[in-house]
Amino acid sequence: MKFYKRLATVVLAIVTVITIAFFHTFVLAFPEHEVDAIASQTTVLIAPALQEGDAKARREWETGSGAIVARKGKSYYALTALSVVQTRGFYGVRTSDGKVHLVEHNEDNSSIYPLGREDGELRTRAKDLDLALVKFESEHDYPVAAVGDAEKLRNKDVLYVSGWPVPQNQAPRRERITQATSLNQIDSQPHSESGYSLAYNIQTRQGMDGGPVFSKDGLVVAIHGSDRSQEHGYCLEPKLSGNNSCGLPISRILNAIEAEDMRLSFDRGSVDPKLIARGLANKSTADVIPDVYKLFTFDLDAMLRNKPSLGCGSILLGDKCPRSSL
Protein backbone atom coordinates (compact mmCIF):
# COMPACT_ATOMS: atom_id res chain seq x y z
CA MET A 1 0.00 0.00 0.00
CA LYS A 2 2.82 2.41 0.90
CA PHE A 3 4.43 1.68 -2.45
CA TYR A 4 1.27 2.67 -4.34
CA LYS A 5 0.92 5.86 -2.26
CA ARG A 6 4.50 6.82 -3.06
CA LEU A 7 3.93 5.99 -6.72
CA ALA A 8 0.81 8.16 -6.75
CA THR A 9 2.77 11.02 -5.16
CA VAL A 10 5.52 10.74 -7.79
CA VAL A 11 3.00 10.64 -10.63
CA LEU A 12 1.20 13.67 -9.23
CA ALA A 13 4.48 15.59 -9.00
CA ILE A 14 5.34 14.72 -12.61
CA VAL A 15 1.89 15.76 -13.82
CA THR A 16 2.22 19.05 -11.91
CA VAL A 17 5.59 19.84 -13.52
CA ILE A 18 4.23 19.02 -16.97
CA THR A 19 1.16 21.19 -16.34
CA ILE A 20 3.27 24.15 -15.23
CA ALA A 21 5.56 23.77 -18.23
CA PHE A 22 2.53 23.57 -20.53
CA PHE A 23 1.06 26.68 -18.91
CA HIS A 24 4.22 28.72 -19.37
CA THR A 25 4.72 27.50 -22.92
CA PHE A 26 1.24 28.08 -24.25
CA VAL A 27 -0.91 30.18 -21.94
CA LEU A 28 1.61 33.02 -21.66
CA ALA A 29 1.92 33.27 -25.44
CA PHE A 30 -0.25 36.11 -26.70
CA PRO A 31 -1.91 36.02 -30.12
CA GLU A 32 -0.28 38.27 -32.67
CA HIS A 33 -2.93 40.99 -32.49
CA GLU A 34 -2.39 41.36 -28.72
CA VAL A 35 1.39 41.65 -29.09
CA ASP A 36 0.66 44.24 -31.78
CA ALA A 37 -1.52 46.12 -29.27
CA ILE A 38 1.35 46.14 -26.74
CA ALA A 39 3.72 47.39 -29.45
CA SER A 40 1.23 50.08 -30.47
CA GLN A 41 1.38 51.71 -27.03
CA THR A 42 5.12 51.44 -26.41
CA THR A 43 6.73 52.00 -29.85
CA VAL A 44 7.75 55.58 -30.71
CA LEU A 45 8.79 57.31 -33.90
CA ILE A 46 12.04 59.31 -33.57
CA ALA A 47 13.16 61.89 -36.13
CA PRO A 48 14.98 65.22 -36.44
CA ALA A 49 12.83 68.31 -35.97
CA LEU A 50 11.99 70.15 -39.19
CA GLN A 51 11.73 73.89 -39.76
CA GLU A 52 9.20 75.72 -41.92
CA GLY A 53 10.13 75.83 -45.59
CA ASP A 54 13.00 73.39 -45.27
CA ALA A 55 12.11 71.34 -48.36
CA LYS A 56 15.63 69.96 -48.78
CA ALA A 57 15.64 68.62 -45.22
CA ARG A 58 12.36 66.86 -45.92
CA ARG A 59 13.87 65.06 -48.90
CA GLU A 60 16.88 64.00 -46.86
CA TRP A 61 14.94 63.49 -43.64
CA GLU A 62 15.59 60.11 -41.99
CA THR A 63 13.32 58.65 -39.35
CA GLY A 64 13.68 55.72 -36.96
CA SER A 65 11.78 53.85 -34.29
CA GLY A 66 12.23 53.18 -30.58
CA ALA A 67 10.63 51.70 -27.47
CA ILE A 68 9.76 53.29 -24.12
CA VAL A 69 11.41 51.03 -21.53
CA ALA A 70 11.82 53.11 -18.36
CA ARG A 71 10.37 56.01 -16.41
CA LYS A 72 11.66 58.17 -13.58
CA GLY A 73 9.10 60.72 -12.44
CA LYS A 74 8.21 62.87 -15.44
CA SER A 75 11.18 61.56 -17.44
CA TYR A 76 10.72 58.76 -19.94
CA TYR A 77 13.49 56.76 -21.60
CA ALA A 78 13.25 55.23 -25.05
CA LEU A 79 15.77 52.83 -26.57
CA THR A 80 16.70 53.20 -30.22
CA ALA A 81 19.60 52.56 -32.58
CA LEU A 82 22.51 55.00 -32.22
CA SER A 83 22.51 55.44 -36.00
CA VAL A 84 19.01 56.98 -35.73
CA VAL A 85 20.11 59.89 -33.49
CA GLN A 86 23.73 60.65 -34.39
CA THR A 87 23.21 64.07 -35.98
CA ARG A 88 23.45 67.02 -33.59
CA GLY A 89 20.41 69.24 -33.23
CA PHE A 90 16.81 68.73 -32.15
CA TYR A 91 14.79 65.53 -32.34
CA GLY A 92 11.16 64.69 -31.79
CA VAL A 93 9.79 61.58 -30.08
CA ARG A 94 6.25 60.80 -31.22
CA THR A 95 4.26 58.83 -28.63
CA SER A 96 1.07 56.78 -28.98
CA ASP A 97 -1.19 59.74 -28.15
CA GLY A 98 0.08 61.62 -31.21
CA LYS A 99 2.21 64.14 -29.28
CA VAL A 100 5.78 64.98 -30.29
CA HIS A 101 8.24 65.59 -27.45
CA LEU A 102 11.27 67.70 -28.42
CA VAL A 103 14.73 66.78 -27.16
CA GLU A 104 18.09 68.41 -27.72
CA HIS A 105 21.25 66.65 -28.86
CA ASN A 106 24.30 68.90 -28.62
CA GLU A 107 27.76 68.66 -27.08
CA ASP A 108 26.96 70.79 -24.01
CA ASN A 109 23.34 69.80 -23.48
CA SER A 110 21.86 66.50 -24.57
CA SER A 111 19.03 64.19 -23.67
CA ILE A 112 20.37 61.51 -25.99
CA TYR A 113 22.83 59.12 -24.38
CA PRO A 114 24.94 56.97 -26.74
CA LEU A 115 25.60 53.49 -25.35
CA GLY A 116 28.10 52.79 -28.12
CA ARG A 117 30.84 54.83 -29.75
CA GLU A 118 30.44 57.10 -32.76
CA ASP A 119 33.03 56.10 -35.32
CA GLY A 120 34.27 57.18 -38.72
CA GLU A 121 35.51 60.47 -40.13
CA LEU A 122 32.09 62.11 -39.75
CA ARG A 123 31.09 60.07 -36.69
CA THR A 124 28.25 58.49 -38.65
CA ARG A 125 28.96 54.85 -37.76
CA ALA A 126 28.22 53.08 -34.49
CA LYS A 127 30.91 50.92 -32.90
CA ASP A 128 30.56 48.33 -30.09
CA LEU A 129 26.83 49.00 -29.59
CA ASP A 130 24.53 50.54 -32.16
CA LEU A 131 22.34 51.82 -29.36
CA ALA A 132 21.20 55.04 -27.67
CA LEU A 133 18.86 56.03 -24.86
CA VAL A 134 16.59 59.03 -25.53
CA LYS A 135 15.06 60.92 -22.61
CA PHE A 136 11.95 63.07 -22.95
CA GLU A 137 9.77 64.84 -20.41
CA SER A 138 6.00 64.61 -20.07
CA GLU A 139 3.22 64.98 -17.53
CA HIS A 140 1.29 62.28 -19.38
CA ASP A 141 1.13 58.68 -18.15
CA TYR A 142 2.66 56.59 -20.93
CA PRO A 143 2.90 52.79 -20.81
CA VAL A 144 6.39 51.34 -20.39
CA ALA A 145 7.27 48.11 -22.18
CA ALA A 146 8.20 45.14 -19.98
CA VAL A 147 11.53 43.52 -20.82
CA GLY A 148 12.28 39.82 -21.14
CA ASP A 149 15.36 37.64 -21.43
CA ALA A 150 16.77 36.92 -24.89
CA GLU A 151 18.95 34.17 -23.40
CA LYS A 152 15.81 32.04 -23.00
CA LEU A 153 15.01 32.22 -26.70
CA ARG A 154 15.45 29.16 -28.88
CA ASN A 155 15.77 28.74 -32.63
CA LYS A 156 12.44 29.01 -34.45
CA ASP A 157 10.83 30.97 -31.60
CA VAL A 158 8.29 33.50 -32.83
CA LEU A 159 9.36 37.15 -32.66
CA TYR A 160 7.58 40.40 -33.52
CA VAL A 161 9.37 43.51 -34.83
CA SER A 162 7.55 46.84 -34.39
CA GLY A 163 8.37 50.09 -36.12
CA TRP A 164 7.46 53.00 -38.37
CA PRO A 165 8.47 52.16 -41.96
CA VAL A 166 9.08 54.88 -44.53
CA PRO A 167 6.90 54.63 -47.67
CA GLN A 168 8.85 54.25 -50.90
CA ASN A 169 7.42 57.51 -52.23
CA GLN A 170 8.22 59.40 -48.98
CA ALA A 171 4.49 60.07 -48.59
CA PRO A 172 3.53 62.18 -45.54
CA ARG A 173 1.17 59.52 -44.18
CA ARG A 174 2.92 57.03 -41.92
CA GLU A 175 1.63 53.86 -40.30
CA ARG A 176 3.26 51.73 -37.59
CA ILE A 177 3.39 48.00 -38.28
CA THR A 178 4.30 44.79 -36.48
CA GLN A 179 6.04 42.09 -38.51
CA ALA A 180 6.06 38.47 -37.33
CA THR A 181 9.23 36.46 -37.83
CA SER A 182 11.17 33.58 -36.27
CA LEU A 183 14.57 33.39 -34.64
CA ASN A 184 17.24 31.77 -36.79
CA GLN A 185 20.32 32.10 -34.62
CA ILE A 186 21.78 33.57 -31.43
CA ASP A 187 25.51 34.23 -31.66
CA SER A 188 27.43 33.75 -28.42
CA GLN A 189 29.96 36.34 -29.63
CA PRO A 190 28.24 39.58 -30.71
CA HIS A 191 29.45 41.34 -33.83
CA SER A 192 32.30 43.59 -32.67
CA GLU A 193 31.25 46.55 -34.80
CA SER A 194 27.66 46.79 -33.63
CA GLY A 195 26.86 44.37 -30.80
CA TYR A 196 24.21 42.46 -32.75
CA SER A 197 23.82 38.78 -31.94
CA LEU A 198 20.23 37.84 -32.86
CA ALA A 199 19.31 36.88 -36.42
CA TYR A 200 15.72 36.50 -37.59
CA ASN A 201 14.40 35.76 -41.06
CA ILE A 202 12.64 38.96 -42.00
CA GLN A 203 13.29 41.91 -44.25
CA THR A 204 12.16 45.12 -42.60
CA ARG A 205 11.89 48.53 -44.19
CA GLN A 206 13.72 51.83 -43.74
CA GLY A 207 12.47 53.63 -40.64
CA MET A 208 12.12 50.51 -38.48
CA ASP A 209 15.71 50.65 -37.18
CA GLY A 210 15.72 51.05 -33.40
CA GLY A 211 12.27 49.52 -32.96
CA PRO A 212 11.49 46.90 -30.30
CA VAL A 213 11.56 43.14 -30.89
CA PHE A 214 8.92 41.35 -28.81
CA SER A 215 8.74 37.73 -27.74
CA LYS A 216 5.51 35.73 -27.95
CA ASP A 217 4.73 36.72 -24.33
CA GLY A 218 4.76 40.42 -25.19
CA LEU A 219 8.16 41.27 -23.66
CA VAL A 220 10.91 43.30 -25.34
CA VAL A 221 13.81 40.91 -25.90
CA ALA A 222 15.86 42.98 -28.36
CA ILE A 223 16.18 46.24 -30.26
CA HIS A 224 16.01 45.92 -34.02
CA GLY A 225 18.99 47.63 -35.51
CA SER A 226 19.89 46.41 -38.93
CA ASP A 227 18.27 44.92 -42.00
CA ARG A 228 20.50 42.45 -43.85
CA SER A 229 23.66 43.97 -45.36
CA GLN A 230 24.22 47.69 -44.80
CA GLU A 231 26.27 50.40 -46.45
CA HIS A 232 29.06 50.07 -43.89
CA GLY A 233 29.14 46.29 -43.67
CA TYR A 234 27.17 43.45 -42.15
CA CYS A 235 25.35 43.22 -38.85
CA LEU A 236 26.60 39.63 -38.38
CA GLU A 237 28.89 37.46 -40.45
CA PRO A 238 28.18 38.02 -44.19
CA LYS A 239 26.46 34.71 -44.98
CA LEU A 240 24.06 35.00 -42.05
CA SER A 241 23.42 38.71 -42.58
CA GLY A 242 22.53 38.09 -46.21
CA ASN A 243 19.40 36.18 -45.25
CA ASN A 244 18.42 37.78 -41.95
CA SER A 245 17.82 40.99 -40.07
CA CYS A 246 19.65 41.57 -36.78
CA GLY A 247 18.75 42.54 -33.25
CA LEU A 248 20.64 43.54 -30.13
CA PRO A 249 19.57 41.41 -27.10
CA ILE A 250 18.05 43.23 -24.15
CA SER A 251 20.44 41.63 -21.63
CA ARG A 252 23.43 43.28 -23.30
CA ILE A 253 21.51 46.56 -23.46
CA LEU A 254 20.70 46.54 -19.74
CA ASN A 255 24.32 45.71 -18.92
CA ALA A 256 25.46 48.71 -20.97
CA ILE A 257 23.02 50.99 -19.14
CA GLU A 258 24.26 49.72 -15.76
CA ALA A 259 27.87 50.27 -16.83
CA GLU A 260 27.04 53.94 -17.48
CA ASP A 261 25.64 54.20 -13.93
CA MET A 262 22.21 55.07 -15.27
CA ARG A 263 20.03 54.25 -12.30
CA LEU A 264 16.90 53.19 -14.10
CA SER A 265 14.43 50.51 -13.12
CA PHE A 266 12.87 48.18 -15.67
CA ASP A 267 9.65 46.21 -15.62
CA ARG A 268 10.63 42.55 -15.79
CA GLY A 269 7.18 41.19 -14.96
CA SER A 270 4.30 40.05 -17.09
CA VAL A 271 2.27 42.34 -19.33
CA ASP A 272 -0.62 44.22 -17.73
CA PRO A 273 -3.89 43.18 -19.47
CA LYS A 274 -4.99 46.84 -19.30
CA LEU A 275 -2.13 47.71 -21.66
CA ILE A 276 -3.44 45.26 -24.25
CA ALA A 277 -6.99 46.61 -23.92
CA ARG A 278 -5.70 50.16 -24.26
CA GLY A 279 -3.70 49.23 -27.33
CA LEU A 280 -6.63 47.51 -29.02
CA ALA A 281 -8.95 50.44 -28.32
CA ASN A 282 -6.59 53.16 -29.58
CA LYS A 283 -4.84 51.55 -32.56
CA SER A 284 -6.51 53.71 -35.18
CA THR A 285 -5.05 56.90 -33.69
CA ALA A 286 -1.87 55.51 -32.15
CA ASP A 287 -0.64 53.78 -35.31
CA VAL A 288 -1.44 56.38 -37.97
CA ILE A 289 0.15 59.77 -38.65
CA PRO A 290 -1.77 61.67 -41.36
CA ASP A 291 1.12 64.07 -42.14
CA VAL A 292 4.46 63.29 -40.49
CA TYR A 293 6.17 66.35 -42.01
CA LYS A 294 3.62 68.74 -40.55
CA LEU A 295 3.78 66.97 -37.18
CA PHE A 296 7.57 67.34 -36.92
CA THR A 297 7.81 70.95 -38.19
CA PHE A 298 8.56 73.59 -35.53
CA ASP A 299 9.61 77.23 -35.43
CA LEU A 300 12.86 76.40 -33.65
CA ASP A 301 14.32 79.88 -34.12
CA ALA A 302 11.42 81.45 -32.22
CA MET A 303 11.69 78.83 -29.51
CA LEU A 304 15.41 79.51 -29.10
CA ARG A 305 14.78 83.25 -28.86
CA ASN A 306 12.05 82.76 -26.26
CA LYS A 307 13.96 80.13 -24.28
CA PRO A 308 17.69 80.93 -24.48
CA SER A 309 18.37 78.64 -21.51
CA LEU A 310 17.36 75.27 -22.87
CA GLY A 311 15.98 72.51 -20.71
CA CYS A 312 17.44 69.12 -19.96
CA GLY A 313 15.28 66.91 -22.17
CA SER A 314 13.06 69.50 -23.81
CA ILE A 315 13.56 72.95 -25.27
CA LEU A 316 10.36 73.98 -23.51
CA LEU A 317 11.29 73.10 -19.94
CA GLY A 318 13.50 74.44 -17.17
CA ASP A 319 17.21 75.18 -17.05
CA LYS A 320 20.22 73.47 -18.52
CA CYS A 321 21.23 70.24 -16.76
CA PRO A 322 24.63 68.54 -16.50
CA ARG A 323 25.44 66.10 -19.32
CA SER A 324 25.47 63.11 -16.94
CA SER A 325 22.18 63.96 -15.26
CA LEU A 326 19.35 61.45 -15.58
One domain for residues 251 and 177: yes
Answer yes or no: is 230 within a domain. Answer: yes
Shared-domain flag, residues 133 and 159: no
Q: Is residue 31 part of a domain?
A: no
**Same domain? 152 vs 255:** yes
Q: Which has the higher per-residue pLDDT, 300 or 117?
A: 300
Higher pLDDT, 298 or 27: 298
Same domain, 175 and 160: yes
Residues 238 and 153 reside in one and the same domain: yes
Q: Give the domain extent around 50.
A: 43-144+273-306
Any domain includes 198? yes
Residue 17, domain member (yes or no): no
Please report whether residue 2 resides in a domain.
no
Number of domains comprising the chain: 2
CATH number at residue 133: 2.40.10.10
Q: Judge whether 321 lies within some domain.
A: no
Q: Do 253 and 280 fall within a single domain?
A: no
Q: What is the pLDDT of residue 5?
A: 53
Give yes or no for residue 27 having a pLDDT over 50.
no
Residues 164 and 232 in one domain: yes
Residues 234 and 158 in one domain: yes
Confirm whether 20 is domain-assigned: no
Please state the rounded mean pLDDT for residues 294-306.
77
Do 243 and 207 belong to one domain?
yes
81-109 pLDDT, tens digit per residue, is 998 998 888 999 999 999 999 999 887 77
The answer to whether residue 320 is domain-embedded is no
What's the chain's average pLDDT? Answer: 79
Is the confidence at residue 273, as pLDDT, over 70?
yes
- Tell whether the model's pLDDT for residue 290 goes beyond 70: yes
**Residue 185: closest CA among 202, 207, 200:** 200
